[in-house]
Amino acid sequence: ILNVEQSPQSLHVQEGDSTNFTCSFPSSNFYALHWYRWETAKSPEALFVMTLNGDEKKKGRISATLNTKEGYSYLYIKGSQPEDSATYLCAFEDGNSGYALNFGKGTSLLVTP
Amino acid sequence: SAVISQKPSRDICQRGTSLTIQCQVDSQVTMMFWYRQQPGQSLTLIATANQGSEATYESGFVIDKFPISRPNLTFSTLTVSNMSPEDSSIYLCSVGQGAGEQYFGPGTRLTVT
């Protein structure tokens, strides 16, 4: 079992605030780092797949960075909206896992108007 | 992206019974996986469903408890056998086509009483 840690466990922000979460993962045998957004009663939605050290990816108001040497990734949300409320999961994919994903426990975000 | 459906979406079952969960994909996919999320825990891989051969189980999961079928490239089932309250979880199937994004179904929420 590969140790993937996410912090904070939960976060409550006001609409318009910007926020960020952390995902830490093993720095050896890295293959890819995935970010998902999971709303209750829906399928986890793929946000980013990141493979290269120094990668930065952006999707609307959400962006992510990757540092494979030190084993961490940040997810940023700019100008949070109530519809951003969800659990954000990161998942580590190593070179031996056959494309299976090792997930953190997630960061639960609540954005209130 | 693939569209994935799961049946049932939720169920309440009695201890000692079995439940079979179905996963249907709208296109042929190479890889299918089964995950579960116990309350307060990470999404954890149960097994990789292999088309035409026995599933590959992760440490801590066995075929007698979680038999899996994959008769073709668009369909798989997971059975949770001889259930106990510890099996209460969200069960998700996911699909992938190699390196890159994986897509998840909406999950089956199982409560065992």
Q: Which residues of B touch A50 (CB under 8 A)?
A: none
pLDDT digits (tens, 9 = 90+) for B9-21: 999 999 999 999 9
Q: Which residues of A touch B107 (CB under 8 A)?
A: 43
Residues A19 and A12: beta-carbon distance below 8 Å:
no
B59: phi then psi, degrees, rounded to nearest 5: -55, 130
pLDDT of residue A41: 86
CA-nearest residue to B92 within chain A is: A43
Interface touch A99/B107, C-beta < 8 Å: no
Interface touch B107/A46, C-beta < 8 Å: no
| Nearest-neighbour CA in chain B from A55: distance (Å) | 15
Checking if the pLDDT of B61 tops 90, the result is yes
E strands of B14-73, at which residues? 19-25, 31-37, 43-49, 56-57, 68-72
Q: Which residues contact B21 (CB under 8 A, 6 or more apart)?
A: B6, B7, B8, B77, B78, B79, B80, B91, B93, B108
Q: Does A40 touch chain B (CB under 8 A)?
A: no
- Name the band, by pLDDT with cuts 50, 70 and 90, for residue B98: low
pLDDT of residue A1: 58
Spell out, as residue ranges, where chain A has pLDDT lower than 70. Answer: 1-2, 97-98
Q: Does A36 touch chain B (CB under 8 A)?
A: yes
Q: Which residues of B touch A41 (CB under 8 A)?
A: 106
pLDDT digits (tens, 9 = 90+) for B25-44: 999 998 899 999 999 999 99
Interface touch B105/A43, C-beta < 8 Å: yes
Interface touch B58/A41, C-beta < 8 Å: no
